[in-house]
Amino acid sequence: MSLPPYARLLGLRVEPGDTGVPRLVMPFGSAVTGRPGFVHGGAIGGLVEMAAVAALRHALGDEDVRIKPINLTVDYMRGGRDRDTLAEGIVVRLGTRIANVEAFAWQEARDRPIAAARINFLLSR
């Protein structure tokens, strides 16, 4: 699966998730550091956006569809510490022209997310 160039800047890698949806892992490092010992909020926002893109690409399969984000809302729940951050997306609705995707980022435990996002995409088939 290929992700946008921003994913490389964040150092993201794709792993298989428990449910078959791609899981993204963002290692902690100087490229994603905010205040000392914490992940920058923009990097977390980028991670959940890329997780949503990966989930949507997975749901579309081999279909040749151009996707464009319409809007993105991120809820930050707690600070990301100096460790790997994981994220997965869930396609809530996949229509002909619009897709709605949710994404969650966590560190120690999936049931304690550090951020959640809702993203609407325009699909050009």
Tokens of 11: 């150092």
Residues shown for the chain:
125
Domain with 98 in it: what CATH number? 3.10.129.10
pLDDT, tens digit, for every residue of 65-79?
Answer: 999 999 999 999 999
- pLDDT for the residue 123: 98
pLDDT given for residue 44 in this prediction: 98
Nearest-angstrom CA–CA distance, 68 and 124 = 8
pTM of the model: 0.94
Question: 27 lies in which domain range?
Answer: 5-124
Query: Which pLDDT score is estimated for 116?
Result: 98
pLDDT in tens, 45-67: 999 999 999 999 999 999 999 99
Q: Are 31 and 9 in contact (CB under 8 A)?
A: yes
SS3 125: coil
Domain count, the chain: 1
* Residue whose pair of structure tokens reads 């991670």 in the numeric block: 47
Q: From 74, 14, 64, 9, select the one nearest 41 (Cα to Cα).
A: 74
